[in-house]
C-alpha cells in the first residue's frame, strides 16, 4: 500500500489530522453528508457504494494499521462480509471460545452447509497451526473474548493455506498490529474502543491486499451493510482521542489486574499481561500493550458473581466494552455465550475514570460475594 499523505507524522497526530481539510474556508470537521445521491462525474454516485463521511473516517482508520480501511454498519456486518468472500463449503477454522455473536454465526453457517467448521480448543496453538494448513479461512479472536488467552498470530498466519483474519477489537490497533504479524485482514467492532463512547455501531476491515479490499467493497455495496453518515462522523470524532483513552485505560487495567490478583474474593485474573500465564511469551512478542480488557473468576458461583456485579456504583453492569465508562458483566448470563466460558467469570472493560475510584468501587462490590 502507498504511504498516506500523513505518513511523516506520528500516529497521535495522524489520528487527529486524518480526514481534515486545511483548505481556506473549509470546515475543520467534515460535514455530515446526508444526501444519498450525487451529481454524476465526481467521486461519489450513490451513498450505498461510497460517500464523503466514510472517506474521512476510513482515512483515519487506515492510519491505525497502515492499511486500506472499509467501514461497515457493525462488527457483525464486517464479519459477514468476510464470509461472503468464501465459496460455499469452504473450510473455516476458529477457536472454541470467541465473541459469542461470531461463534453463534459460524455454527449457524456450518449447520446450513454454507461452510465446513472446525473449532480448536483455545490455548492449543499446535492444533490451530495444523488446522490452518488446510483451511480456507482462519478466524482468530486474540486475545480471546472473554477468556483472554492469546493465539500465536504469526505462527498461525505463516502456516495458513488460505486467509487469516484477526478480530482485533479486544487488543486494539495501538496494542496489536495483526497485519504486521502476517494476517490478511484485521477486523474491529468499531462500536467499542474506536468509537469509545458507547453511542454508535460500526465495524471495520483493514487490509493491505487491494484485491481483497475491492471484493469486500463490492460485497458491502450489494449486501447494504453500510454505515450511516452520522455514525461515520461520530466514529471519526471518537478516534480523535483514541490514543489518550487507550493509554489511560491500558495503564489502569494493568494496575487493576495486579490488585485483583491479591483480592480475597478472586480466584484467578485473566489478562494477557500476567507473566505467569501459559501464553505470556506469545502475548509479549505480539502485543505492545496488553489492553484495557480483563476477566476474573470469582470465589463463588454464578449467583455470587451476579451479586457482585449488581452492587457496583461506578462500574456499569452492562454488556459491551471499550467506552470511556468502565463496565463489567457475568458473560454466561447470555444464553449464547460459548459453553467453555466459566459460569463465575466476570468480564471487565476498564474506562478512563480515576483508578482509585474504580478500585474502591470494585473492592466494595466484590466484598458482597
Ligand atoms: C470481539 C468482538 N468482535 C465482534 C463484535 C461484534 O461487533 P458489533 O456489536 O459492532 O456488531 C463484538 C461485539 O461485542 C466483539 O466484542
Q: Report the C-alpha gap between 106 and 93 in whole angstroms.
A: 10
Q: Report the C-alpha gap between 14 and 298 in whole angstroms.
A: 41
Q: So what's the pLDDT on residue 60?
A: 98
Integer-rounded Cα radius of gyration of the chain: 20
Q: Report the C-alpha gap between 304 and 219 in whole angstroms.
A: 46
Task: Please spell the DSSP secondary structure of 281-295, one letter per residue.
Answer: HHHHHH-SS--SEEE
46 is catalytic: no
Q: Quick check: 7 pLDDT over 90?
A: no
Q: Report the C-alpha gap between 296 and 261 in whole angstroms.
A: 9
pTM of the entire predicted model: 0.97
pLDDT in tens, 170-216: 999 999 999 999 999 999 999 999 999 999 999 999 999 999 999 99
User: 74 in ligand 1 pocket by Cβ < 6 Å?
Assistant: yes
Listed in sequence order, the residues at least 6 apart from 226 whose beta carbon sits closer than 8 Å to its beta carbon are 47, 48, 54, 71, 72, 73, 220
CA 271 to chain centre: 16
User: 104 in ligand 1 pocket by Cβ < 6 Å?
Assistant: no
Q: What are phi and psi of 205, to 5 degrees?
A: -115, 135
**Which residue's alpha carbon is nearest to atom 6 within ligand 1?**
75
User: 193 in ligand 1 pocket by Cβ < 6 Å?
Assistant: no
Stated as kind and residue range, the H or E segment containing 231 is helix 229-239
Placement of cell 495458513 in the chain:
160
pLDDT in tens, 326-354: 999 999 999 999 999 999 999 999 999 99
Q: So what's the pLDDT on residue 6?
A: 78
In the predicted model, what is the mean pLDDT of residues 129-147? 98
192 is catalytic: yes
280 is catalytic: no
Exactly one of 14, 20, 99, 265 is catalytic; which is it?
A: 99
Listed in sequence order, the residues at least 6 apart from 354 whose beta carbon sits closer than 8 Å to its beta carbon are none
Question: What domains, with CATH codes, occur in the chain?
Answer: 11-239 (3.40.640.10), 242-366 (3.90.1150.10)
Reported confidence tier of residue 232, pLDDT bands at 50, 70, 90:
very high
Exactly one of 14, 20, 114, 192 is catalytic; which is it?
A: 192
User: 191 in ligand 1 pocket by Cβ < 6 Å?
Assistant: yes
Contact assessment for residue 287 and residue 149, using Cβ atoms and an 8 Å cutoff: no
Report CA(203)–ligand 1 centroid distance (Å): 8
Listed in sequence order, the residues at least 6 apart from 362 whose beta carbon sits closer than 8 Å to its beta carbon are 256, 260, 312, 315
Report CA(248)–ligand 1 centroid distance (Å): 22
The strand ranges marked E within 61-184 are 68-72, 90-95, 115-120, 137-141, 163-167
Residue whose CB lies within 8 A of the most ligand 1 atoms, among 61, 72, 73, 75, for a mutation test: 75
Report CA(245)–ligand 1 centroid distance (Å): 19
In the predicted model, what is the mean pLDDT of residues 348-366? 98
Average pLDDT over the chain, rounded to an integer: 97
Report in angstroms the alpha-carbon separations of 356 from 102, 256, 267.
Answer: 35, 9, 22
Can you tell me which atom of ligand 1 is nearest the CA of 102?
4
User: 318 in ligand 1 pocket by Cβ < 6 Å?
Assistant: no
99 is catalytic: yes
Residue whose CB lies within 8 A of the most ligand 1 atoms, among 104, 173, 192, 228, for a mutation test: 192
Can you tell me which atom of ligand 1 is nearest the CA of 192?
10
Report CA(146)–ligand 1 centroid distance (Å): 12
Exactly one of 103, 136, 152, 167 is catalytic; which is it?
A: 167
Report in angstroms the alpha-carbon separations of 177 from 105, 154, 207.
Answer: 25, 11, 11
Listed in sequence order, the residues at least 6 apart from 205 whose beta carbon sits closer than 8 Å to its beta carbon are 69, 70, 72, 78, 81, 82, 185, 186, 187, 213, 216
User: 198 in ligand 1 pocket by Cβ < 6 Å?
Assistant: no
In the predicted model, what is the mean pLDDT of residues 88-98? 98
Amino acid at each position: 500500500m502507498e504511504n498516506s499523505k500523513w505518513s511523516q507524522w506520528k500516529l497521535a497526530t495522524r489520528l487527529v489530522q486524518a480526514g481534515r481539510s486545511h483548505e481556506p474556508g473549509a470546515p475543520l470537521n467534515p460535514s455530515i453528508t446526508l444526501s444519498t445521491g450525487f451529481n454524476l462525474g465526481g467521486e461519489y454516485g450513490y451513498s450505498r457504494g461510497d460517500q464523503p463521511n466514510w472517506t474521512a473516517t476510513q482515512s483515519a482508520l487506515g492510519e491505525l494499521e497502515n492499511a486500506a480501511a472499509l467501514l461497515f454498519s457493525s462488527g457483525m456486518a464486517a464479519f459477514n462480509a468476510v464470509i461472503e468472500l468464501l465459496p460455499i463449503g469452504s473450510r473455516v477454522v476458529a477457536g472454541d471460545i470467541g465473541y459469542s455473536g461470531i461463534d453463534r454465526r459460524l455454527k449457524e453457517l456450518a449447520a446450513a452447509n454454507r461452510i465446513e467448521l472446525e473449532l480448536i480448543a483455545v490455548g492449543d496453538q499446535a492444533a490451530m497451526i495444523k488446522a490452518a494448513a488446510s483451511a480456507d479461512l482462519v478466524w482468530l479472536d486474540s486475545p480471546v473474548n472473554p477468556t483472554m488467552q492469546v493465539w500465536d498470530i504469526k505462527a498461525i498466519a505463516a502456516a495458513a493455506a488460505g486467509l487469516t483474519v484477526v478480530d482485533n477489537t479486544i487488543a486494539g490497533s495501538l496494542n496489536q498490529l495483526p497485519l504486521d504479524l502476517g494476517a490478511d485482514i484485521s477486523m474491529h467492532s468499531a462500536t467499542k474502543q474506536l468509537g469509545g463512547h458507547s453511542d454508535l455501531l460500526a465495524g471495520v476491515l483493514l487490509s493491505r491486499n487491494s484485491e481483497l479490499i475491492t471484493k469486500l467493497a463490492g460485497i458491502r455495496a450489494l449486501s447494504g451493510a453500510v454505515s450511516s453518515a452520522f455514525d461515520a462522523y461520530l466514529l471519526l470524532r471518537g478516534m480523535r482521542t483514541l490514543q489518550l483513552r487507550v493509554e489511560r485505560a491500558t495503564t489502569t487495567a494493568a494496575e487493576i489486574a495486579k490488585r485483583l490478583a491479591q483480592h480475597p474474593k478472586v480466584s484467578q485474573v485473566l489478562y494477557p499481561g500476567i507473566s505467569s500465564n501459559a501464553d505470556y511469551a506469545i502475548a509479549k512478542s505480539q502485543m505492545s500493550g496488553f489492553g484495557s480488557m480483563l476477566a476474573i473468576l470469582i470465589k463463588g458461583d454464578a449467583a455470587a458473581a451476579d451479586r457482585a456485579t449488581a452492587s457496583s456504583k461506578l462500574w456499569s453492569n452492562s454488556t459491551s466494552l471499550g467506552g470511556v465508562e468502565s463496565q463489567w458483566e457475568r458473560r454466561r448470563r447470555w444464553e449464547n455465550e460459548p459453553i467453555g466460558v466459566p459460569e463465575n467469570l466476570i468480564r471487565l472493560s476498564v474506562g478512563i475514570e480515576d483508578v482509585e475510584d474504580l478500585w474502591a468501587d470494585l473492592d466494595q462490590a466484590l466484598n458482597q460475594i
